[in-house]
Amino acid sequence: MSSDSAIINTVAEYYTETVAKHGATARGVDWSSDESQKLRFAQLGRIFEGGEVRASVLDYGSGWGALLEYIDTHFPALALQYTGYDIVPSMLDHARTRYPNRGSWAAALTNGEKFDYVLASGVLNVRQSHTDLEWWDYVVTTLIKFDSLATKGFAFNMLTSYSDQDKMRDYLYYANPGKVFELCKQRFSKQVALLHDYPLYEFTILVRK
């Protein structure tokens, strides 16, 4: 069985290649377009609904920081303390260059560190050669981590098992949205939302505490 460290290493290698090839773009973090990336951010941003005026946010798997730009643009009244975390050094290099005076960027998280919210886009998709069982174990471990880091809630997206067969790729992981919802509902909070009504082959989960 693959360990989390082995999975993390394969994920890091994958995204090191994408950003080297495409730079600080949506393609650089393996999305097809800016439009689809922003649509994903719009779903994650619903975690802020309810009139937040100040929040600390951890962008888990931040890439080069596109989510920071989205939040600043679409939630201008939110006093945001932003931290971008990524396991790919070149991603963080791009982020620091692009936003030299905004946000903080980390290649590691301090034990016991807490944030109001954790947001994660695309970090649970690239299964590569790992089995579905190995990847599911990794998903569960990662969501437990999100729960431990977030004091008010967390949001993440995953590819859906309801995708059209001809669009599915064997190196990606397609999750059963009901199974993920049930896990979050039973383990993390009574306040869980499943968003599966936007035109991408994926779903978003919001967990509020």
- Residue 151 and residue 115 in contact, taking contact as beta carbons nearer than 8 Å: yes
Judged by DSSP in three states, 99 sits in coil
> DSSP labels for 158-182?
EEETTS-GGG--TTS-EE-HHHHHH
For residue 195, the SS3 value is strand
Question: Residue 30 pLDDT > 80, yes or no?
Answer: no
What's residue 1's pLDDT?
46
The 10s digit of each residue's pLDDT in 180-202 is 999 999 999 999 999 999 999 99
pLDDT digit string, tens, across residues 116-159: 999 999 999 999 899 999 999 999 999 999 999 999 999 999 99
Q: Could you tell me the two tokens for 140?
A: 């569960």
pLDDT of amino acid 104: 94
Classified as helix, coil or strand, 60 is strand
The domains located in the chain, with CATH, are 4-208 (3.40.50.150)
pLDDT given for residue 19 in this prediction: 77
